[in-house]
Amino acid sequence: MQTAIPCLFMRGGTSRGPFFRESDLPADAALRDRVLLAAMGSPDARQIDGLGGADPLTSKVGIVSRSTTPGVDLEFLFAQVLIDEARVDTTPNCGNMLAAVGPFALERGLVEAAGPETTVRILTRNTGMLSDVWLQTPAGHITYEGDARIDGVPGTSAPIKISFLETEGSVCGKLLPTGRAVDTYDGVPVTCIDNGMPVVVIRASDLGKSGYESRDELNADANLKARLESIRLQAGRAMNLGDVRKKVVPKMSLIAPPRAGGGLCSRTFIPHDCHAAVGVLGAVTLATAGVLAGSVADGVARLPEGRVKAVSVEHPSGEFTVELELHPDDPQKVVRAALLRTARLIMRGEVLIPASAWDGREALRRAA
Protein backbone atom coordinates (compact mmCIF):
# COMPACT_ATOMS: atom_id res chain seq x y z
CA MET A 1 0.00 0.00 0.00
CA GLN A 2 1.09 3.54 -0.76
CA THR A 3 -0.28 6.93 0.29
CA ALA A 4 -1.21 9.35 -2.49
CA ILE A 5 -0.71 13.06 -1.76
CA PRO A 6 -1.95 15.74 -4.21
CA CYS A 7 0.77 18.09 -5.44
CA LEU A 8 1.86 20.28 -8.32
CA PHE A 9 5.43 19.95 -9.54
CA MET A 10 6.61 23.46 -10.35
CA ARG A 11 9.63 25.48 -11.34
CA GLY A 12 10.12 28.68 -9.40
CA GLY A 13 12.95 30.84 -10.75
CA THR A 14 16.01 28.60 -11.02
CA SER A 15 14.68 26.03 -8.54
CA ARG A 16 11.98 23.39 -8.69
CA GLY A 17 10.07 20.91 -6.61
CA PRO A 18 6.63 19.74 -5.51
CA PHE A 19 4.14 22.18 -4.00
CA PHE A 20 1.55 21.01 -1.49
CA ARG A 21 -1.46 22.50 0.20
CA GLU A 22 -0.65 22.51 3.90
CA SER A 23 -3.89 20.67 4.66
CA ASP A 24 -2.73 17.72 2.54
CA LEU A 25 0.30 17.10 4.78
CA PRO A 26 0.62 16.03 8.43
CA ALA A 27 0.22 18.81 10.98
CA ASP A 28 3.04 17.41 13.11
CA ALA A 29 6.34 18.86 11.86
CA ALA A 30 8.43 15.71 12.47
CA LEU A 31 5.93 13.52 10.64
CA ARG A 32 5.60 16.10 7.85
CA ASP A 33 9.38 16.05 7.36
CA ARG A 34 9.33 12.24 7.18
CA VAL A 35 6.72 12.51 4.43
CA LEU A 36 8.82 15.05 2.52
CA LEU A 37 11.92 12.87 2.75
CA ALA A 38 9.94 9.95 1.33
CA ALA A 39 8.46 12.09 -1.44
CA MET A 40 11.85 13.43 -2.51
CA GLY A 41 13.78 10.16 -2.13
CA SER A 42 16.18 11.26 0.61
CA PRO A 43 18.59 10.23 1.91
CA ASP A 44 20.20 9.03 -1.31
CA ALA A 45 22.85 10.71 -3.46
CA ARG A 46 20.70 10.19 -6.59
CA GLN A 47 17.31 10.54 -4.87
CA ILE A 48 16.43 7.67 -7.16
CA ASP A 49 13.30 6.69 -5.23
CA GLY A 50 11.61 10.09 -5.22
CA LEU A 51 11.03 13.42 -6.96
CA GLY A 52 14.35 15.02 -6.00
CA GLY A 53 16.82 15.87 -8.71
CA ALA A 54 20.04 15.14 -6.76
CA ASP A 55 20.91 18.85 -6.62
CA PRO A 56 20.15 21.41 -3.88
CA LEU A 57 18.23 23.50 -6.44
CA THR A 58 15.93 20.59 -7.27
CA SER A 59 15.46 19.20 -3.78
CA LYS A 60 13.06 21.85 -2.54
CA VAL A 61 9.43 21.82 -1.43
CA GLY A 62 6.75 24.49 -1.16
CA ILE A 63 3.89 24.26 1.36
CA VAL A 64 1.08 26.79 0.87
CA SER A 65 -2.12 27.79 2.66
CA ARG A 66 -4.58 30.66 2.78
CA SER A 67 -3.62 33.22 5.38
CA THR A 68 -5.77 34.26 8.32
CA THR A 69 -3.66 37.40 8.86
CA PRO A 70 -5.47 40.59 7.78
CA GLY A 71 -3.99 42.02 4.59
CA VAL A 72 -2.11 38.82 3.75
CA ASP A 73 -3.38 36.43 1.05
CA LEU A 74 -1.13 33.41 1.37
CA GLU A 75 1.31 31.74 3.71
CA PHE A 76 4.31 29.84 2.37
CA LEU A 77 6.62 27.45 4.17
CA PHE A 78 9.78 26.60 2.26
CA ALA A 79 11.53 23.29 2.93
CA GLN A 80 15.05 22.46 1.79
CA VAL A 81 15.25 18.67 1.69
CA LEU A 82 18.78 17.44 2.21
CA ILE A 83 19.91 14.96 -0.41
CA ASP A 84 22.17 12.50 1.37
CA GLU A 85 20.89 13.18 4.90
CA ALA A 86 17.50 12.36 6.40
CA ARG A 87 16.90 16.00 7.23
CA VAL A 88 14.60 18.85 6.21
CA ASP A 89 15.65 22.45 6.88
CA THR A 90 12.97 25.14 7.19
CA THR A 91 15.36 27.78 8.57
CA PRO A 92 15.98 29.81 5.39
CA ASN A 93 13.80 31.60 2.87
CA CYS A 94 13.83 30.79 -0.85
CA GLY A 95 12.97 33.61 -3.23
CA ASN A 96 13.07 31.34 -6.25
CA MET A 97 10.44 28.93 -4.93
CA LEU A 98 8.48 31.96 -3.72
CA ALA A 99 7.93 32.87 -7.38
CA ALA A 100 5.79 29.75 -7.85
CA VAL A 101 3.59 30.29 -4.77
CA GLY A 102 1.12 32.63 -6.48
CA PRO A 103 0.72 30.45 -9.58
CA PHE A 104 0.22 27.38 -7.35
CA ALA A 105 -2.43 29.20 -5.34
CA LEU A 106 -4.29 30.22 -8.49
CA GLU A 107 -4.07 26.70 -9.88
CA ARG A 108 -5.44 25.22 -6.65
CA GLY A 109 -8.11 27.86 -6.01
CA LEU A 110 -6.54 29.37 -2.90
CA VAL A 111 -6.82 32.85 -4.45
CA GLU A 112 -8.74 34.24 -7.43
CA ALA A 113 -7.48 36.29 -10.36
CA ALA A 114 -8.32 39.99 -10.14
CA GLY A 115 -8.09 41.08 -13.77
CA PRO A 116 -5.25 40.93 -16.30
CA GLU A 117 -2.74 41.33 -13.46
CA THR A 118 -3.18 39.90 -9.96
CA THR A 119 -1.22 40.98 -6.90
CA VAL A 120 -0.89 38.69 -3.90
CA ARG A 121 0.74 39.38 -0.57
CA ILE A 122 2.63 36.38 0.74
CA LEU A 123 3.94 35.71 4.22
CA THR A 124 6.96 33.40 4.20
CA ARG A 125 6.58 31.58 7.48
CA ASN A 126 10.23 30.50 7.70
CA THR A 127 11.25 34.01 8.78
CA GLY A 128 8.07 36.09 8.81
CA MET A 129 9.05 37.90 5.60
CA LEU A 130 6.33 39.66 3.59
CA SER A 131 6.39 40.15 -0.16
CA ASP A 132 4.09 41.51 -2.83
CA VAL A 133 3.99 39.43 -6.01
CA TRP A 134 2.53 40.54 -9.34
CA LEU A 135 1.23 37.77 -11.64
CA GLN A 136 0.00 37.85 -15.23
CA THR A 137 -3.62 36.62 -15.29
CA PRO A 138 -5.19 37.47 -18.66
CA ALA A 139 -8.79 36.26 -19.01
CA GLY A 140 -8.76 35.45 -15.31
CA HIS A 141 -6.21 32.64 -15.49
CA ILE A 142 -2.51 32.39 -14.67
CA THR A 143 -0.34 32.35 -17.78
CA TYR A 144 3.17 30.99 -18.09
CA GLU A 145 3.77 32.36 -21.60
CA GLY A 146 5.69 35.59 -22.02
CA ASP A 147 8.92 37.26 -23.05
CA ALA A 148 10.67 37.49 -19.67
CA ARG A 149 14.06 35.79 -19.57
CA ILE A 150 16.17 34.89 -16.52
CA ASP A 151 19.64 33.40 -16.59
CA GLY A 152 19.73 29.75 -15.57
CA VAL A 153 16.38 28.95 -17.23
CA PRO A 154 16.04 28.25 -20.97
CA GLY A 155 13.52 30.16 -23.09
CA THR A 156 11.13 32.85 -21.94
CA SER A 157 8.10 32.98 -19.65
CA ALA A 158 5.53 35.37 -18.19
CA PRO A 159 7.18 37.88 -15.83
CA ILE A 160 6.60 37.59 -12.10
CA LYS A 161 7.55 40.75 -10.22
CA ILE A 162 8.45 40.41 -6.54
CA SER A 163 8.88 43.26 -4.07
CA PHE A 164 10.30 42.22 -0.72
CA LEU A 165 9.14 43.99 2.42
CA GLU A 166 11.04 44.06 5.73
CA THR A 167 13.92 41.78 4.70
CA GLU A 168 16.55 43.35 6.96
CA GLY A 169 17.67 40.84 9.58
CA SER A 170 15.05 38.35 8.43
CA VAL A 171 16.77 35.33 10.01
CA CYS A 172 19.49 36.76 12.25
CA GLY A 173 17.57 39.69 13.70
CA LYS A 174 19.84 42.43 12.37
CA LEU A 175 21.34 43.41 9.01
CA LEU A 176 24.80 43.03 10.55
CA PRO A 177 24.20 40.35 13.19
CA THR A 178 27.71 40.65 14.65
CA GLY A 179 27.38 44.43 14.91
CA ARG A 180 30.37 44.95 12.60
CA ALA A 181 30.83 45.45 8.86
CA VAL A 182 33.90 43.21 8.91
CA ASP A 183 34.86 40.24 11.10
CA THR A 184 37.90 37.99 10.79
CA TYR A 185 37.85 34.20 11.01
CA ASP A 186 40.93 32.05 10.42
CA GLY A 187 42.71 35.22 9.34
CA VAL A 188 40.17 35.94 6.56
CA PRO A 189 38.13 39.18 6.60
CA VAL A 190 34.40 38.59 6.00
CA THR A 191 31.12 40.47 6.15
CA CYS A 192 28.30 38.65 7.95
CA ILE A 193 25.06 40.10 6.63
CA ASP A 194 21.34 39.24 6.45
CA ASN A 195 19.02 41.18 4.15
CA GLY A 196 16.67 38.29 3.42
CA MET A 197 19.31 35.53 3.59
CA PRO A 198 22.20 35.07 6.03
CA VAL A 199 25.37 35.27 3.95
CA VAL A 200 29.06 35.33 4.78
CA VAL A 201 30.69 37.47 2.09
CA ILE A 202 34.38 36.85 1.35
CA ARG A 203 36.65 38.37 -1.26
CA ALA A 204 37.74 35.45 -3.44
CA SER A 205 41.27 36.82 -3.56
CA ASP A 206 41.53 36.45 0.24
CA LEU A 207 41.20 32.69 -0.26
CA GLY A 208 43.62 32.58 -3.18
CA LYS A 209 40.90 32.43 -5.82
CA SER A 210 39.99 34.69 -8.73
CA GLY A 211 36.24 34.44 -8.15
CA TYR A 212 35.75 33.51 -11.81
CA GLU A 213 36.34 29.76 -11.44
CA SER A 214 33.70 27.37 -12.72
CA ARG A 215 31.28 25.68 -10.38
CA ASP A 216 32.89 22.27 -10.98
CA GLU A 217 36.38 23.62 -10.35
CA LEU A 218 35.36 25.05 -6.98
CA ASN A 219 33.43 21.94 -6.00
CA ALA A 220 36.53 19.84 -6.66
CA ASP A 221 38.69 21.98 -4.35
CA ALA A 222 38.55 20.08 -1.06
CA ASN A 223 40.95 22.47 0.69
CA LEU A 224 38.82 25.49 -0.19
CA LYS A 225 35.64 23.79 1.00
CA ALA A 226 37.28 22.84 4.30
CA ARG A 227 38.37 26.44 4.86
CA LEU A 228 34.90 27.73 4.01
CA GLU A 229 33.25 25.31 6.42
CA SER A 230 35.59 26.31 9.25
CA ILE A 231 34.69 29.97 8.68
CA ARG A 232 30.99 29.14 8.32
CA LEU A 233 30.82 27.33 11.65
CA GLN A 234 32.44 30.26 13.46
CA ALA A 235 30.36 32.87 11.64
CA GLY A 236 27.14 30.95 12.23
CA ARG A 237 27.50 31.26 15.98
CA ALA A 238 28.43 34.95 15.72
CA MET A 239 25.33 35.54 13.53
CA ASN A 240 22.97 34.20 16.23
CA LEU A 241 22.36 31.00 14.25
CA GLY A 242 23.93 28.66 16.79
CA ASP A 243 25.56 25.44 15.65
CA VAL A 244 25.07 25.46 11.86
CA ARG A 245 26.63 22.08 11.09
CA LYS A 246 23.16 20.76 10.24
CA LYS A 247 21.79 23.98 8.73
CA VAL A 248 21.94 25.27 5.16
CA VAL A 249 22.59 28.82 6.40
CA PRO A 250 24.63 30.91 6.37
CA LYS A 251 25.44 30.74 2.68
CA MET A 252 29.07 31.39 1.77
CA SER A 253 29.69 33.79 -1.13
CA LEU A 254 33.02 34.49 -2.78
CA ILE A 255 33.02 37.85 -4.56
CA ALA A 256 35.18 39.50 -7.18
CA PRO A 257 34.95 42.62 -9.36
CA PRO A 258 32.43 42.19 -12.18
CA ARG A 259 33.80 41.18 -15.55
CA ALA A 260 30.63 41.00 -17.69
CA GLY A 261 29.29 44.50 -17.22
CA GLY A 262 27.53 43.78 -13.92
CA GLY A 263 27.92 45.17 -10.43
CA LEU A 264 29.51 42.25 -8.59
CA CYS A 265 30.71 38.74 -9.46
CA SER A 266 29.72 35.91 -7.11
CA ARG A 267 30.32 32.25 -6.40
CA THR A 268 27.91 31.06 -3.70
CA PHE A 269 27.98 27.81 -1.69
CA ILE A 270 24.66 26.45 -0.29
CA PRO A 271 26.29 25.62 2.05
CA HIS A 272 28.90 23.10 0.86
CA ASP A 273 28.33 22.95 -2.90
CA CYS A 274 28.86 25.82 -5.29
CA HIS A 275 25.53 27.13 -6.63
CA ALA A 276 25.02 26.97 -10.41
CA ALA A 277 23.53 30.48 -10.16
CA VAL A 278 22.71 32.56 -7.08
CA GLY A 279 19.66 32.49 -4.84
CA VAL A 280 17.14 35.33 -5.02
CA LEU A 281 17.54 36.54 -1.46
CA GLY A 282 21.22 35.71 -1.55
CA ALA A 283 21.51 38.14 -4.48
CA VAL A 284 19.56 40.78 -2.54
CA THR A 285 21.93 40.36 0.41
CA LEU A 286 25.05 40.47 -1.78
CA ALA A 287 23.81 43.63 -3.51
CA THR A 288 23.16 45.15 -0.08
CA ALA A 289 26.73 44.33 0.98
CA GLY A 290 27.86 46.18 -2.13
CA VAL A 291 26.25 49.45 -0.98
CA LEU A 292 27.42 49.08 2.63
CA ALA A 293 30.42 51.26 3.41
CA GLY A 294 33.25 49.35 5.04
CA SER A 295 32.07 45.87 4.02
CA VAL A 296 34.40 43.48 2.19
CA ALA A 297 32.35 44.26 -0.94
CA ASP A 298 33.03 48.00 -0.62
CA GLY A 299 35.41 48.81 -3.46
CA VAL A 300 34.81 45.46 -5.17
CA ALA A 301 31.26 46.18 -6.33
CA ARG A 302 30.69 48.70 -9.12
CA LEU A 303 27.34 50.33 -8.53
CA PRO A 304 25.30 52.91 -10.45
CA GLU A 305 24.56 56.33 -9.03
CA GLY A 306 21.20 57.29 -7.55
CA ARG A 307 18.93 56.27 -4.71
CA VAL A 308 17.37 53.44 -6.76
CA LYS A 309 20.07 51.12 -8.02
CA ALA A 310 19.83 48.19 -10.41
CA VAL A 311 22.59 45.88 -9.24
CA SER A 312 23.59 43.02 -11.53
CA VAL A 313 25.04 40.08 -9.58
CA GLU A 314 27.07 37.88 -11.91
CA HIS A 315 27.10 34.13 -11.25
CA PRO A 316 28.33 30.94 -12.98
CA SER A 317 25.39 30.73 -15.40
CA GLY A 318 24.74 34.42 -16.08
CA GLU A 319 23.54 37.33 -13.98
CA PHE A 320 20.74 38.32 -11.61
CA THR A 321 19.59 41.94 -11.42
CA VAL A 322 18.26 43.26 -8.12
CA GLU A 323 16.69 46.68 -7.73
CA LEU A 324 17.56 48.33 -4.42
CA GLU A 325 15.95 51.51 -3.13
CA LEU A 326 17.97 53.37 -0.51
CA HIS A 327 16.58 55.52 2.28
CA PRO A 328 16.55 59.21 1.24
CA ASP A 329 18.28 60.25 4.48
CA ASP A 330 20.52 57.23 4.95
CA PRO A 331 22.22 55.87 1.82
CA GLN A 332 23.44 52.88 3.86
CA LYS A 333 19.89 51.64 4.49
CA VAL A 334 17.97 49.58 1.91
CA VAL A 335 14.21 50.20 2.19
CA ARG A 336 13.02 48.09 -0.74
CA ALA A 337 14.32 45.24 -2.88
CA ALA A 338 12.56 44.17 -6.07
CA LEU A 339 13.33 41.70 -8.83
CA LEU A 340 11.95 39.69 -11.71
CA ARG A 341 11.44 35.92 -11.73
CA THR A 342 9.45 33.41 -13.77
CA ALA A 343 7.70 30.13 -12.92
CA ARG A 344 6.03 27.22 -14.67
CA LEU A 345 3.70 24.39 -13.79
CA ILE A 346 5.44 21.20 -14.92
CA MET A 347 3.14 18.44 -13.66
CA ARG A 348 -0.06 18.01 -11.66
CA GLY A 349 -1.08 14.85 -9.85
CA GLU A 350 -0.16 12.86 -6.76
CA VAL A 351 3.11 11.80 -5.27
CA LEU A 352 3.06 8.30 -3.79
CA ILE A 353 4.93 7.47 -0.60
CA PRO A 354 5.09 4.23 1.39
CA ALA A 355 2.16 3.91 3.78
CA SER A 356 4.72 3.02 6.44
CA ALA A 357 5.91 6.64 6.27
CA TRP A 358 2.36 8.03 6.61
CA ASP A 359 -1.04 6.48 5.99
CA GLY A 360 -2.71 9.78 5.13
CA ARG A 361 -5.79 9.25 7.31
CA GLU A 362 -5.22 12.57 9.07
CA ALA A 363 -5.61 14.51 5.80
CA LEU A 364 -8.78 12.60 4.98
CA ARG A 365 -10.26 13.49 8.37
CA ARG A 366 -9.43 17.16 7.80
CA ALA A 367 -11.04 17.10 4.35
CA ALA A 368 -14.18 15.50 5.78
What domains are there in the chain, each with its CATH number?
Answer: 2-159+343-367 (3.10.310.10), 183-337 (3.10.310.10)
Band (366; pLDDT cuts 50, 70, 90): confident
| pLDDT over 90, % of the chain | 96
- The answer to whether the CB of 120 falls within 8 A of the CB of 73 is yes
For residue 82, which of 229, 241, 226, 248 has the smallest C-alpha distance? 248
- Tell me the three state secondary structure of residue 203: strand
Task: Provide the terminal-to-terminal Cα distance of the chain, rounded to the nearest Å.
Answer: 22
Band (365; pLDDT cuts 50, 70, 90): confident
Cα–Cα dist 173/177, whole Å: 7
Cα–Cα dist 214/122, whole Å: 35
Residue-wise pLDDT for 244-291, tens only, equals 999 999 999 999 999 999 999 999 998 899 999 999 999 999 999 999
pLDDT on residue 294: 97
- The answer to whether the CB of 110 falls within 8 A of the CB of 65 is yes
Half-sphere exposure of 323 (CA within 13 A, CB side): 11
How large is the average pLDDT for residues 168-191? Answer: 97
- The answer to whether the CB of 195 falls within 8 A of the CB of 288 is yes
Half-sphere exposure of 94 (CA within 13 A, CB side): 32
Residue-wise pLDDT for 122-154, tens only, equals 999 999 999 999 999 999 999 999 999 999 999
Cα–Cα dist 328/239, whole Å: 28
Cα–Cα dist 349/6, whole Å: 6
Cα–Cα dist 26/32, whole Å: 5
Band (362; pLDDT cuts 50, 70, 90): confident
Chain centroid offset of residue 280 CA? 6
